[in-house]
Chain A
Amino acid sequence: NAGVTQTPKFRVLKTGQSMTLLCAQDMNHEYMYWYRQDPGMGLRLIHYSVGEGTTAKGEVPDGYNVSRLKKQNFLLGLESAAPSQTSVYFCASSPRSDTQYFGPGTRLTVL
């Protein structure tokens, strides 16, 4: 039972490049989330999904897109990366909207 996994663990991009972060969970959870974590700011919700085929905006959605084509996967895309998107990205899943299970994180640097 792997829980929540994230791919890749590290990535360096140049400004303007695009990339996709993959989150996978094997707990059959309905809800999935993408957060970014910056020093001194805690966790901020980017997008979330309440089920396969659905997505919704969180607190800081600008510059990101998401897709939930399969229940177990939640993809986060950056179409044109900017230095302000340098952060650690965490994916989480939950059977309800309360207790969340987090992945190990993806450290993204945009130069």
Chain B
Amino acid sequence: LAKTTQPISMDSYEGQEVNITCSHNNIATNDYITWYQQFPSQGPRFIIQGYKTKVTNEVASLFIPADRKSSTLSLPRVSLSDTAVYYCRRGDSNYQLIWGAGTKLIIKP
């Protein structure tokens, strides 16, 4: 059974780098890994997507090792506004999109 597992919650402090890891042991060859951010009473918002190695954009980096059994979302120098729920999602072009249960990230001053 394909599963996507991530920690339920994490705490950190302003200015720190935060790494959230997602486990996806049975990842399929065609699956991409995508991370979303969700604030209360809003829909999830796309952060970053990758297939292998490292991807970086203006808000985050995504590290995917060669075996692709896990992925790590890295948020550099977080602020209070980064407090949100972060979802890991795997999926392929056949719409088999599997979401993790989400990681509640709390940033403290």
In this assembly, does B109 line the interface, its C-beta being within 8 Å of a C-beta of chain A?
Answer: no
Check if A41 is an interface residue, CB within 8 A of chain B.
yes
Q: How many residues of B contact A (CB 8 A)?
A: 21
Of residues B34, B46, B94, B97, which shows the largest number of chain A Cβ atoms within 10 Å of its Cβ?
B97
* Binary per-residue interface labels of chain B (14-48) against chain A in the complex, 1 for a CB within 8 Å, 0 otherwise: 00000000000000000010100000011111100
Nearest Cβ on chain B to A61's Cβ, whole angstroms: 13
- CB contact under 8 A between A98 and B32, given known A56-B95, A103-B43: yes
Residues of chain B in range 42-87 having any CB-CB distance to chain A below 8 Å: 42-46, 49, 87
Q: Which of A31, A41, A102, A103 has the most CB of B within 10 A?
A: A102
Nearest-Cβ distance from residue B69 to partner chain A, whole angstroms: 19
A97 touches B43 (CB 8 A): no
Separation of A43 and B97 alpha carbons in the complex (Å): 10
| Contact status of A98 and B43, CB under 8 A, knowing A42-B99, A45-B97 | no
Number of interface residues of A (CB under 8 A): 23
Residues of A within 8 A of B97 (CB): 45, 97
Interface residues of A (CB under 8 A from B): 4, 31, 40-45, 48, 50, 56, 90, 92, 96-105
Task: Mark B residues whose CB is within 8 Å of A.
Answer: 8, 32, 34, 41-46, 49, 87, 91-95, 97, 99-102
With A97-B92, A104-B42 given, name 18 new contacts (CB 8 A). A40-B101, A42-B100, A45-B97, A56-B95, A90-B43, A90-B44, A98-B34, A98-B49, A99-B34, A100-B44, A101-B46, A102-B42, A102-B44, A102-B45, A103-B43, A104-B43, A105-B41, A105-B42
